[in-house]
A and B are shown apart, each in its own frame.
Chain A
Amino acid sequence: MRFDARLGLAIAAGKLSAASIRWLGRGGGTALPGVLSNGLDPDVLDKLAARVPGGCIVVAGTNGKTTTSRILAETLERAGFGVIHNRSGSNLVRGITAAFTEQVSLGGQPAGEIAVIETDEAAFPEVVRRTKPRLIMLLNLFRDQLDRYGELDTIARNWRETLDGLDPSQTLLINADDPTLAAISEDSPAQRLTFGFRECQYTLDHLPHAADAAVCRRCGASLIYDELYLSHLGAYHCDQCGYQRPDLTFGARDITLDGLDSGSLVLETDQESLAIQGRLPGLYNLYNVTAAAAAGLVLGMPGEVVQAAIGDFQAAFGRIERVQVNGRTLVLVLIKNPTGFNEVLRTLAMSEMTDPVLILINDLDADGRDVSWLWDVDAEHLAAVEAPLYTGGIRSGDMAVRLKYGGIPPERIIPLGDVAEALDPFIETIPEGGTAFVLPTYTAMLRLRELLHRRGSVQMFWEQ
């Protein structure tokens, strides 16, 4: 391989800055090295991606991309592959570039045979253009509280353009239960494979408020759901033009949720069926498991490796995490957006647990500065939960009011202060040996982990 001086310099800069940022204790060093490398060689990501012998896999979606890409990376590692992966969830172009410069030699030799890249929705077109993935996984598109007017439409339009520009050597693996994804992938020249729920006992009676109304992308009529599983995901058809959910290449059935601890399903293809058991709660995680297992099979991984990787999987940074503090267990569940929040509340309500819950709402840029989105969440799910509900964070008052107007008796709602002020009073309410749930927004989770780290309870995320 010819030595590329510019590329070599870019890689060296990326590696040095990541090391020095960590040494200075300033944080994970997950994005700045990418900024530096990109500045020195704007094509660094294209060049490095092209040198990965087994090619790149890109994972995109509003919710579940970190969990899904981690399960897939773990599956590939178990099968003996060296995997390049933006593990800390730094999923913009600069973060992805940083992950690549970290995981190659100074001469530009990749330290792995295959790359699993989680990408942000807005960065998806550029990441696909630069890394020319062999496999693209699309999980879902939900409305986010950070969306400006019409942003979801724009993302769908940009994704469609990207998919239309693929070639037949590339493979698309999409969640067919999401009508938007099914529609925008229809005309792609890539080979399209699908996954979804073939049969599921957990259904919704109507579209949640946080979901956008599902409209047939072919003719504009309202879609009819034969089954609705989560937000706007389900089995659907259009009465007007006959459009319907595409056939499932990978269909999940026998879907079972076991409280807050685990779930299981059977993944069916034309040739085989694979029983899968995972230690991840909630229907939303079973979508992630379905996606990751399907991708593993597409990549030719043996069924037992897929089963074992999912069976042993530990949740990604803060998605669901169990932490020991003073002899008590805190279950941390990140709240990302209205749909994610709804599913967490639905999972808590279905488990019939009575442990204390602390909801931490911040309103910094990464959380969404406008807390109006709390009103798009169905807090009503918690009315049936016989647990004390504490609120904290910069906007603990807004969350407390949301719960009250959701029909939770005010005496069960206890507003506390910001994350640092709320933590100890909350822990004191948990009996010795007991369990409690903490549901923080993004920056509240960072703050919470920082506080727990000081007590030695959690590792910081770049150490995982």
Chain B
Amino acid sequence: MKLTICWLYGDTMNIYGDRGNVLALAQRCRWRGIEAEITTLGVGEELDPDAYDIFFWGGGQDREQIPVSSDILGPKGETLKALLEDGAPMLSVCGGYQLLGKHYHPYGEEQLPGLGFFDAWSEAGPERFIGNVVVDSGRFGTLVGFENHSGLTFLGPTAEALGRIRVGRGNNGQDGTEGCIRLNTLGCYLHGALLPKNPAVTDFLIKAAIKRRYGVEELEPLEDDLEVIAHQQAIKRAVATG
């Protein structure tokens, strides 16, 4: 088996160690004997609907988000949305997460339209949320990460939150939610990087990909001693600093 990982706008939206997520996806494939290839897809490059198995879309600065926002409108965005509707797995963090919603309103700038895949919208907030985060999610157990955002995300009535905030601020600092999940696509504010310390999420994405491409249901378990240590340490640290 072979999976191709598409790092959306990996050349410009790659701050805060986002590379860790892509490495985690690729390595956990390889350790199971699944071949993994990483390709980045930039502004102006066409999205071949059959070429990719897992998508990652990270965060960027506001000024980098503007060309991306205009690139994702039109045929490329339609193709991506159709893939996600069809169950293609994706992790989006921060800026990518915001653009999967209906719109994003940066501070003092024009409102940027989003893809509208999540029933959610975002706007610039008055305060920057910076710190360790622990989330209780039904599906993946606890999730740990580090948030660093001033954008606030609000979920609409049909949206499902990724989880509830135990430590940290989350989507908007008000309603106790963090992130969003729909079909096999996750959006969240968790850097850290997220996937290496939360292998349950990584495996969820890989499992969805091999099922969609090869009809394979089973994913071989891996030894996660070091990941568990890092995960537990991050919880302890978040509780101490939160």
Contacts and interface: CB of A to CB of B under 8 A. Distances in A.
Interface of A: 149-150, 209, 213, 363, 369-376, 394-398, 400-402, 404-407, 410, 413, 415
A372 B24 contact: no
In this complex, the member of A149, A363, A402, A407 whose beta carbon has the largest number of chain B beta carbons within 10 angstroms is: A149
B146 interface: yes
Q: Which 3 A-B pairs have the closest CB atoms?
A: A372-B17, A397-B230, A375-B17
B128 to A, nearest CB: 8
A375 B19 CA distance: 6
A396 B233 contact: yes
A397 B17 contact: no
Given A374-B17, A376-B17, A405-B27, A369 B233 contact: no
A398 B197 contact: yes
A327 B230 CA distance: 33
B130 interface: yes
B192 A402 contact: no
B111 interface: no
A397 B232 contact: yes
Contacts of B223: 410
B61 A394 contact: no
A154 B86 CA distance: 43
B230 A369 contact: no
Interface string B158-195: 00000000000000000000000000000000011100
A375 B148 contact: no
A251 B121 CA distance: 55
A407 B16 CA distance: 21
Nearest to B226: A400
A413 B226 contact: yes
A397 B233 contact: yes
Contacts of A213: 11
Interface in B208-238: 223, 225-227, 229-234, 237
Contacts of B237: 363, 394-395
A397 B132 CA distance: 15
Interface string B12-25: 00111111100110
Contacts of B16: 370, 372-373
B192 A405 contact: no
A405 B19 CA distance: 11
Nearest to B24: A405
A372 B27 contact: no
- Chain B interface: which size bin? 35 or more
A406 B196 CA distance: 11
A208 to B, nearest CB: 11
B234 A209 contact: no
Contacts of A398: 192, 197, 230, 233-234
Contact of A401 (B18, B146, B191, B197): B197
Given A375-B17, A404-B27, 7 more contacts: A370-B130, A371-B17, A372-B20, A394-B237, A413-B226, A415-B226, A415-B229
B226 A395 contact: no
A402 B196 contact: yes
Nearest to B232: A397
A394 B236 CA distance: 10
Given A150-B61, A374-B17, A398-B197, A405 B233 contact: no
Nearest to A213: B11
A375 B230 contact: no
Contacts of A372: 16-18, 20, 146, 191-193
A375 B233 contact: no
Contacts of B15: 149
A400 B24 CA distance: 13
Nearest to B147: A370
A223 to B, nearest CB: 15
B196 A400 contact: no
A149 B19 contact: no
B188 to A, nearest CB: 14
Interface string B56-72: 00000111000000000
A397 B61 contact: no
A363 B131 CA distance: 11
B63 to A, nearest CB: 8
Interface in B1-54: 11, 14-20, 23-24, 27
Contact of A369 (B19, B27, B130, B197): B130
B233 A395 contact: yes
B192 to A, nearest CB: 6
Contacts of A405: 20, 23-24, 27, 196
Contacts of B229: 396-397, 400, 415
B46 to A, nearest CB: 21
B11 to A, nearest CB: 8
A372 B21 CA distance: 10
A363 B15 CA distance: 18
A397 B196 contact: no
B20 A375 contact: yes
B148 A370 contact: yes
Nearest to B20: A375
Contact of B196 (A376, A395, A401, A415): A401
A237 B171 CA distance: 44
B18 A375 contact: yes
Contact of B226 (A374, A394, A397): A397
A401 B227 contact: yes
22 contacts: A209-B19, A369-B131, A369-B132, A370-B148, A370-B192, A372-B17, A372-B20, A372-B146, A375-B17, A375-B18, A397-B226, A397-B230, A397-B232, A397-B233, A398-B234, A400-B229, A401-B197, A401-B226, A401-B230, A402-B20, A404-B226, A405-B23
Nearest to B195: A405
Contacts of A370: 16-17, 130, 146, 148, 191-192
